[in-house]
Structure 1
Amino acid sequence: MRGRFNGPTLIGYAAFLALLLYGLAHVYWASGGGGFPFGADDANPEYSAFQHVGRGQLAPWIAVWFLGSAAVAFLMALPRRRRIPTGVLVGPSVLSAAVVFFTLADFRILGNLAYVFMLRFGAINWTVINQLFAVASVGLMVASAVIYQRRTSGACTRCGRSDSDAGWTSRESAARWGKKAAYTAVVVPLIYASTRWAWALGFPLGISDQLWQEGKKDHLWILGAALATMGALGSLLTLGLVQRWGEIFPRWMVGLRGRRVPLLLAIIPAVLVSIMVTIAGVMYIRLHFQGAFDNEKDDWGATVPETIWPVWGLALAAATLAYYFRRRGICKRCGRG
């Protein structure tokens, strides 16, 4: 029993249950139930990839997608004696996550997180709650796919090591490419923040004087500068992924100084931020292709800097992966180190 219900297996079943429940929720909405959160029924349909698609058309497709994803997650969670070729299940898992990340989810997840830190909980709406659940569901599915890939390739399901590990996963190699990724993840958000700081200081960089004056009256630029500063400070924390203080608490942290930084304390926030900024950046790219900003060419500073956020997100994800490779110790399951 213990082998059948270990941590990796439970992740697979958790993914299956979450995807199944959300698929059934869309079956309810497709049948006429109230509260459908996406498409034309979105509280802000102008941000949706399905802006002009109503519940009757969209809900059945989403239901099929999540129920199909649930079936894939269930197959990956089955005992190892029932293996299915890796690509048959891992490929659809990655595709399912990409569809959710880049169509159902958008920048409002990141924006609402910032509002939570500012104690403005009223900004969170039903659509954002659904986006969070959808992203968490497919996130569990991707984690299950990683475990399944490890299991079918003979690697340790806990640490991912195998007897034929590639050189790029070694501590020395990860330290080299991880540092490049971390510095990239620091610079990109500073490019975005510089426009918001300029507006707050009275310089309409990348926007028309009219828009700047309108924002000034409503104090939007002060709020924008505050949010940009939060992002910039967060990006500087990325340096902890390649600096000693990201592994050992510094002296000024009374009660913690000298202790090792727990691995998950650094990894979980970094992974979440990398996902959210990538989703937000892709949304802005999608809106540009859809022509949503064609009438705002003089205000490029308001929408173009966000299009490089996927670089930020991918760089942060790479830096986090390198941090994991450098810091994973001897595995309690397989004994490799």
Structure 2
Amino acid sequence: MSSRTAAGAPGPVRGRFNRTALIGYVAFLALLAYGLAHTYWALGGDGFPFGADDANPEYSAFEHVGRDRLAPWIAGGFLASSAVALLLALPGRRRIPTPVLVGASVFSAAAVFGTLADFRILGNLAYVFMLKFGAINWTVINQLFAVVSVGLLVASAVVYQRRTSGVCTGCGRGDSGAGWTSPQAAARWGRRAAYTAVIVPLLYASTRWAWALGFPLGISDKLWEEGKEDNLWIAGAALATMGALGSLLTLGLVQRWGEVFPRWMLGLRGRRVPLSLAVVPATLVSVMVTIAGIMYIRLHFQGAFDNQKEDWGATVPEMVWPVWGIALAAATLAYYFRRRGVCKRCDRG
């Protein structure tokens, strides 16, 4: 039986769990819980993770701001965001214009990405793959929770926007045609995005490889010698290589082997690559590298690098990371549009 109503609008799918409706309530509970946690810290509770109480306050946007001043503002922000999430989750249409609710959700995510979160999330992921778990601390755990919470908020805003505009809440398709989301259009702009997402991390990795090979590209001889004594450049080259390999995997978003496992993969060759196997990790990486790049840009405007003008190679390549993250996100979205097939909720394809 088709899931569309007689008028052609997408209707409910019987017997199928409505995950899209659940997102908003999960976002509400997560944001509410975190807002209450910051209320506890604002009242003097132990364990506040940000600002001057950060494990590494030099990376924080609020390096010199104590808990007594910072915690109340963060608590208010998350509690307000939880109210927005609840408005988005409840059935029906709100009197508040949809662009206002969606804009508030995007603003909340931007605030977390630009202030509370930083490159340590990405760095800790790399260390986890290297089986080094000691770098994970309370601040990083809180950053992860904050990022996931506002990510759920943005997802619920997307669902609400789809619901109030009369398109399918599951896939966003309506009766007016696919346009830029069609597989043909996505293949065109997705290819450009994917190539951009490959080039940017290779530019960053080239500086780290140069240091490991003995060439102080973009840094002073003094800094290079200091890093050489501590073997920092070997570790940096290893991390850069992981990023470069990941960037090459981005080609799978526009190549045949990203849709069908190649012949050399015994036991999997010829099988279709699950959509989530590519979309989920690529989305996560795009968010993390964007956050890391924003942090370096923020530190630049805060004057953190004023005494390191000779060492531009240590900071400037990271400032381009938001381009990498946005390009990777666009390439991933295009890959999803090309491969999503017929929607199980509205039967459109």
2:159 to 147, 152, 158: 147
Q: Distance in 1 between matches of 2:281 and 2:49?
A: 27
Q: Which runs of 4+ in 1 moved over 2 A?
A: 1-5, 80-85
The correspondence for 1:282, drawn from 294, 305, 310, is 294
For 1:232, which of 244, 247, 266 is the aligned residue?
244
**Are the structure 2 counterparts of residues 94 and 3 from structure 1 closer, same or farther at C-alpha, using a change threshold of 3 Å?**
farther
Residue 44 (structure 1) aligns with: 56
What is residue 282 of structure 2 aligned with on the other side? 270
Instruction: Give the Cα–Cα distance (whole angstroms) in 2 for the partners of residues 260 and 86 of structure 1.
Output: 38
Name the structure 1 match of 2:99: 87
Question: Please, what TM-score do these two structures have when normalized by structure 1?
Answer: 0.98
Aligned pairs (5 A) from 1:301-320: 301-320=313-332
1:256-287 C-alpha deviation (Å, 9 max, x unpaired): 11111111110010110000000000110111
Richer in helix (by share): 1
Contact 1:15 1:144 in 2 (8 A): yes
Count of residues paired in the alignment:
337
1:217 equivalenced with 2:229 (yes/no): yes
- 8 Å contact kept, 1:83–1:152: no
Secondary structure of the corresponding residue to residue 320 of structure 2: helix
Aligned position for 1:23:
35
Query: Cα offset for 1:80?
Result: 2.5
> Could you say which residue in structure 2 is the equivalent of 1:178?
190
Tell me the alpha carbon deviations over residues 121-146 of structure 1, each in whole angstroms, 9 at most, x when there is no partner: 01101000000000000001011111
1:165–1:55 CA distance, 2 compared to 1 (3 A):
farther
Residue of 7, 23, 30 corresponding to 1:11? 23
Q: 1:74 and 2:74 equivalent?
A: no
Write the distance in 2 (CA, Å) between the matches of 1:137 and 1:273: 17
Are residues 1:111 and 2:113 paired? no
Opposite residue 275 of structure 1, the aligned amino acid is V
The residue number in structure 1 matching 2:272 is 260
How far has the Cα of 1:165 moved from its partner? 3.6
Whole-angstrom distance in 1 between the partners of 2:140 and 2:329: 23
Q: What secondary structure sits across from 1:123 in the alignment?
A: coil
Secondary structure of the 2:214 match is: coil
Whole-Å Cα distance in 2 between the matches of residues 118 and 265 of structure 1? 21
Question: What residue in structure 2 maps to residue 208 of structure 1?
Answer: 220
Q: CA separation of 1:23/1:3 partners in 2, compared to 1, >3 Å: closer, same or farther?
A: farther
Aligned mates of 1:180, 1:237 — CA distance in 2:
15
The one-letter amino acid of 2:108's match is S
Contact 1:15 1:73 in 2 (8 A): yes
CA offsets per residue over residues 143-171 of structure 1, 9 Å max, x none? 11111111111111111111124521111
> Is structure 2 residue 117 aligned with structure 1 residue 130?
no
2:219 partner amino acid: I
Whether the aligned pair in 2 keeps the contact of 1:76 and 1:89 (CA below 8 Å) is yes
Inter-partner Cα distance in structure 1 for 2:161 and 2:219: 48
Extract unaligned runs of 5+ from structure 1.
Answer: none
Aligned-partner residue type, residue 129 of structure 1: I
Q: Does the CA contact (< 8 Å) of 2:93 and 2:164 recur in 1? A: no
CA RMSD, 1 decimal: 1.4
Give the % identical residues: 82
Q: Does 2:72 correspond to 1:55?
A: no
Amino acid paired to 1:283: M
Q: Distance in 1 between matches of 2:202 and 2:136?
A: 26
Equivalent residue number for residue 5 of structure 2: none
1:153–1:4 Cα change, 3 Å: farther
Query: How far apart, in 2, do the equivalents of 1:260 and 1:5 lie?
Result: 25
What is the letter of the counterpart of residue 334 of structure 1? C
Matched, 1:295 2:288: no
Query: Does structure 1 residue 191 correspond to structure 2 residue 203?
Result: yes
d(CA) in 1 for partners of 2:51 and 2:16?
Answer: 40
Runs of at least 5 residues in structure 2 that lack an aligned partner in the other structure: 1-11
Measure how far apart 1:88 and its partner are. 2.3
